[in-house]
Amino acid sequence: MIKVGVVGGTGYTGVELLRLLALHPQVSLTAITSRGEAGLPVADMFPSLRKRVDLRFVAPQDAALTECDVVFFATPNGIAMKQAAELVAAGVRVIDLAADFRIRDVAEWQKWYGMEHAAPELVAEAVYGLPEVNREQIRKARVLANPGCYPTAVQLGFLPLVEAGLVDTASLIADAKSGVSGAGRKAEVHALFSEAADSFKAYGVPGHRHLPEIRQGLARAAGAPVGLTFVPHLTPMIRGIHATLYAQLKTEVDLQALFEQRYASEPFVDVLPAGAHPETRSVRASNLCRIAVHRPQGGNVVVVLSVIDNLVKGAAGQAVQNMNIMFGLEESLGLDLVPVSP
Ligand SMILES: NC(=O)C1=CN([C@@H]2O[C@H](COP(=O)(O)OP(=O)(O)OC[C@H]3O[C@@H](n4cnc5c(N)ncnc54)[C@H](OP(=O)(O)O)[C@@H]3O)[C@@H](O)[C@H]2O)C=CC1
Ligand SMILES: CC(=O)N[C@@H](CCC(=O)OP(=O)(O)O)C(=O)O
């Protein structure tokens, strides 16, 4: 059994991790942290976990973390980078759901995240955990940077086109919508029911911190820098991301066959039949990314529709998928979930 710790067990990605890990046949949950709730039974805070998780929260520096085989950080940006070195030195593998180890250029990370990096040496060795791209490196990772939610949906949608050099990579456009749980469980005015329900807005148009992460991933796939316009939106639903992606085609190609072949052996990417319009509800509470590719009116613009559950393939599910790869387990162990509908 893999001994697992979760730092940040009271947040949305934390409780989603616990839901998945509680059912995982090879996991022994060992330590779940909270700064304010240490001593409280986890199931008292989350009745959904009653009779599934019988641990109490411990403080984030609890010694039990160093006895784990792997520790997930489901914490705000800037936390894992301060604790990871000590854990790695103790032989513990680290999976960070935040952004501390996602951007290889530390100066660029500091610019977007507005803080000094506490562990640049670990950034250099960290592996970006998008299994559809990086499976071999993930196997050996000691520090795993779990991708952001928007970056997962956007990269998976663009990758087949960019890797094959079929589109103009100077003019990519990603128009993405997220449910409110993407903002986390912390109290914030813009996430209040009366602020977010029955309304719809774009945000971060001048520059969102996921822009450098997506550009980094697509540039790697293209073998050269890419130009990307990324516009996120907040939509009044709880879970889900819907990304509508636009690219200018340079070469004639069977787009449907390209996408089907690229993802033929991927357990969590489902390329829908030609003409489909995926909806977020079709992936809700599952680790799936469902994709449809269109070429409206036979023109030169490719439109890709990509949907994920931000808390699962966009965070906790992908983190468990990465853990499975890191520990040599079947990649879909504990993740064979049918989406919840309605
Ligand atoms: N929500 C989403 O859809 C996604 C989130 N992410 C990323 O995952 C991370 C967690 O997000 P999310 O679960 O939404 O956030 P939440 O705000 O819901 O939860 C944050 C958690 O971190 C803990 N925490 C806060 N500060 C500290 C600290 N200084 N030391 C230790 N623990 C701390 C909190 O617990 P307590 O206060 O009890 O200690 C809480 O459990 C973030 O980095 C986020 O950007 C990534 C992809 C998608
Ligand atoms: C709806 C919403 O607010 N979404 C968050 C992104 C989700 C997230 O947590 O991203 P990281 O893992 O990179 O921090 C935002 O736009 O800031």
Residues 42 and 184 in one domain: no
Residue 341 has a CB neighbour count (10 Å cut-off) of 10
Residues 161 and 237 in one domain: yes
Query: What ligand has the least distance to the C-alpha of 309?
Result: 1
Residues 163 and 251 in one domain: yes
Q: Are 296 and 244 in contact (CB under 8 A)?
A: no
| Residue 212: inside a domain | yes
Q: Check if 308 has its Cβ closer than 6 Å to any atom of ligand 1.
A: no
Q: Check if 12 has its Cβ closer than 6 Å to any atom of ligand 1.
A: yes
Q: What's the confidence (pLDDT) of residue 189?
A: 94
278-304: pLDDT as tens digits:
999 999 999 999 999 999 999 999 999
Q: Check if 82 has its Cβ closer than 6 Å to any atom of ligand 1.
A: no
- Interface predicted TM-score (ipTM): 0.97
Which has the closest alpha carbon to 325: 315, 339, 335? 335
Q: Check if 186 has its Cβ closer than 6 Å to any atom of ligand 1.
A: yes
| Residue 106: inside a domain | yes
Put simply, whether the predicted model's pTM sits higher than 0.95 gets the answer yes
Residues 90 and 7 in one domain: yes
What distance in angstroms lies between residue 254's CA and the mean position of ligand 2's atoms?
A: 34
What distance in angstroms lies between residue 305's CA and the mean position of ligand 1's atoms?
A: 28
Residues 118 and 34 in one domain: yes
What distance in angstroms lies between residue 78's CA and the mean position of ligand 2's atoms?
A: 14
Q: Check if 178 has its Cβ closer than 6 Å to any atom of ligand 2.
A: yes
| Residue 118: inside a domain | yes
| Residue 33: inside a domain | yes
Query: What ligand has the least distance to the C-alpha of 203?
Result: 2
Residues 56 and 157 in one domain: no
Catalytic residues, which ones?
Answer: 149
| Residue 321: inside a domain | no
Q: Check if 235 has its Cβ closer than 6 Å to any atom of ligand 2.
A: no
> Using CA atoms, how far apart are residues 21 and 5, in angstroms rounded to an integer?
10
Which of 125, 159, 180 is the last residue before a domain boundary?
Answer: 125
Residue 206's CATH number = 3.30.360.10
What distance in angstroms lies between residue 86's CA and the mean position of ligand 2's atoms?
A: 27
Residue nearest to atom 9 of ligand 2 (CA): 182
Which of 62, 91, 125 is the last residue before a domain boundary?
Answer: 125
Q: What's the confidence (pLDDT) of residue 337?
A: 96
| Residue 96: inside a domain | yes
Q: Phi first, then psi: what are they for 229, rounded to 5°?
A: -105, 120
Q: What's the confidence (pLDDT) of residue 156?
A: 98
What residues of the chain score a pLDDT lower than 50?
Answer: none
Exposed/middle/buried for 107, CB within 10 Å: 0-12, 13-18, 19+? exposed
Q: What's the confidence (pLDDT) of residue 220?
A: 98
Q: Where are the beta strands (DSSP E) in 255-322?
A: 269-271, 289-294, 301-308
Domain of 306 in residue numbering reads as 149-310
Q: What's the confidence (pLDDT) of residue 178?
A: 98
Query: In sequence order, what are the residues at sequence separation of 6 or more whose Cβ sits closer than 8 angstroms to the Cβ of residue 112?
Result: 103, 207, 209, 211, 212
> Using CA atoms, how far apart are residues 38 and 274, in angstroms rounded to an integer?
51
Query: What ligand has the least distance to the C-alpha of 16?
Result: 1
Probe target for ligand 2 pocket from 96, 150, 234, with the most ligand atoms within 8 Å of CB: 150
> Using CA atoms, how far apart are residues 309 and 237, in angstroms rounded to an integer?
11
Query: What ligand has the least distance to the C-alpha of 179?
Result: 2
| Residue 332: inside a domain | no
Residues 115 and 221 in one domain: no
Residues 202 and 284 in one domain: yes
Residue 58's CATH number = 3.40.50.720
Exposed/middle/buried for 267, CB within 10 Å: 0-12, 13-18, 19+? middle
Residues 155 and 108 in one domain: no
Residues 70 and 7 in one domain: yes
Q: What's the confidence (pLDDT) of residue 244?
A: 99
Residues 154 and 291 in one domain: yes
Which has the closest alpha carbon to 59: 41, 76, 37, 74? 37
| Residue 329: inside a domain | no
Residue nearest to atom 11 of ligand 2 (CA): 148
What distance in angstroms lies between residue 149's CA and the mean position of ligand 1's atoms?
A: 14
Q: Check if 81 has its Cβ closer than 6 Å to any atom of ligand 1.
A: no
Q: Check if 181 has its Cβ closer than 6 Å to any atom of ligand 1.
A: yes
Probe target for ligand 2 pocket from 79, 210, 213, with the most ligand atoms within 8 Å of CB: 210
The upper half-sphere exposure of residue 307, i.e. CA atoms within 13 Å in the direction of its Cβ, equals 19
* Tally of domains in the chain: 2
Residues 100 and 233 in one domain: no
